[in-house]
A = this chain, B = another copy of it.
Amino acid sequence: MDDFKKDESRARDESAPVGDEDCASRIARFGEDAPLPLDGGGHLAPFEIAYNTYGALNADKSNAILVCHALTGDQHVANTHPVTGKPGWWSTMVGPGKPVDTDRFFVICANVIGGCMGSTGPGSENPATGRPYGLDFPVITIADMVRAQIRLIDHLGIDQLFCVIGGSMGGMQVLEWAASYKERVFAAVPIATTARHSSQNIAFHEVGRQAVMADPDWRGGRYLEEGVVPRKGLAVARMAAHITYLSDEALHRKFGRNLQNRDSVTFGFDADFQVESYLRYQGYGFVDRFDANSYLYITRAMDYFDLPADHGQILANAFRGTETRFCVVSFTSDWLYPTRESREIVKALNAVAANVSFVEIESDKGHDAFLLDEPELFATVRGFLGAAAERRGLTRQGRREGAREEARTSHGQTRAVRA
């Protein structure tokens, strides 16, 4: 990984991963001399990107897959989560022998800027004050997140990613990569996503933000300094959002009107129904692993996402001239990013004669289907990556040999983290 050295003056990587062995993240630091320009004007500097990698980069650096995470995700794709102790959020999809096969591909996932798992965000120290940024952190966009990822990919010495893949907000990043860095993306898999955030999507996010801001412990965004946490507000935001990730059918199937550890309703405001108990658990569990201001910033970035607007209101313009191979995936019961929004993406790609396949997967699990055990999703991703790898000349055997070679020569630089 000699290429690490080429921008050593501008970025450096921690010599040892941060955290426990099993769920360690690496941190790439970009100094005052490498500011990140932002859509909102100005720059972010210095900044850090926390990321994990799985598998090994091959000799010609052609087998890298960037996984982009969703709103409340992070870089812990396939390893035990350091806070919750649970398996990584996409450990069904990413790992040895999995659809995104870490025996074959070098998988990278970075916490987005604005996030709270190690990348620079509103909870980071503001170098101008020595205190947490809070609302002094600049409002960022999906394009800003991707611009930061480019820095990381440069830093890793990778010219072209074999694939960028992600669901929901991860899918927005995939689209942004494919639109703005065409030559750097061989294949792209946007899942359960949209090219522009709808009015209803904005509305749900606004409710979440209002819930956070309504909590007096939010303290105008300065809660970290004041040693408190807007737990209740953030929990309410998460509860409201969580409903939108599921489908009516999924809720009916999972919970129906079943009661929680009781034979009859209590005529009170306890969690009589299982669905109430579930929501409270989801809401308050979330608070322990997520930062309230990051929630504000990341939802805002999603609201601002409008790829057609960035290209003269014609989405096809975003992809004109692309050589990237696309696999667009939606789920029948996803009402947050319904299939028709994926169809808009496919239509735009067709309009520029792009190489695109589209799969609408029958599922009653709602938007969350992309994170769950969906065999058709796994088969789709496995099949698409396999065919694309063949086109890219990534022979299975060759890569494995290459990967082993790489692993031997680059210890401490490309570190395989396994769940």
Q: Which A residues have a C-beta under 8 Å from some C-beta of B?
A: 39-41, 135, 138-139, 196-200, 202-204, 206-207, 209-211, 213-216, 232-233, 235-236, 239-240, 243, 246, 248, 251-252, 254-257, 265, 267-269, 271-273, 275-276, 279-280, 283, 296, 300, 303-304, 306, 309, 335, 338
Contact = CB atoms under 8 A, between A and B. Distances in A.
Given A198-B248, A199-B275, A215-B214, A207 B255 contact: no
Contacts of A210: 232, 235-236, 239, 279-280, 283
Nearest to A39: B267
A207 B248 contact: no
Copies in the complex: 2
Contact of A41 (B211, B267, B303): B267
A257 B196 contact: yes
Contacts of A267: 39-41, 138-139
A248 B335 contact: yes
A199 B202 CA distance: 24
A291 to B, nearest CB: 15
A261 B238 CA distance: 30
Dominant SS at the A interface? Answer: helix
A279 B214 contact: no
19 contacts: A198-B248, A199-B254, A199-B256, A199-B275, A200-B246, A200-B251, A203-B251, A206-B275, A206-B279, A207-B240, A207-B279, A209-B269, A210-B279, A213-B269, A214-B214, A214-B232, A214-B235, A216-B216, A269-B300
Contacts of A243: 200, 203-204, 207
Contacts of A283: 210
Contact of A236 (B211, B256, B273, B303): B211
A407 to B, nearest CB: 43
B199 A251 contact: yes
A308 to B, nearest CB: 10
A265 B272 CA distance: 43
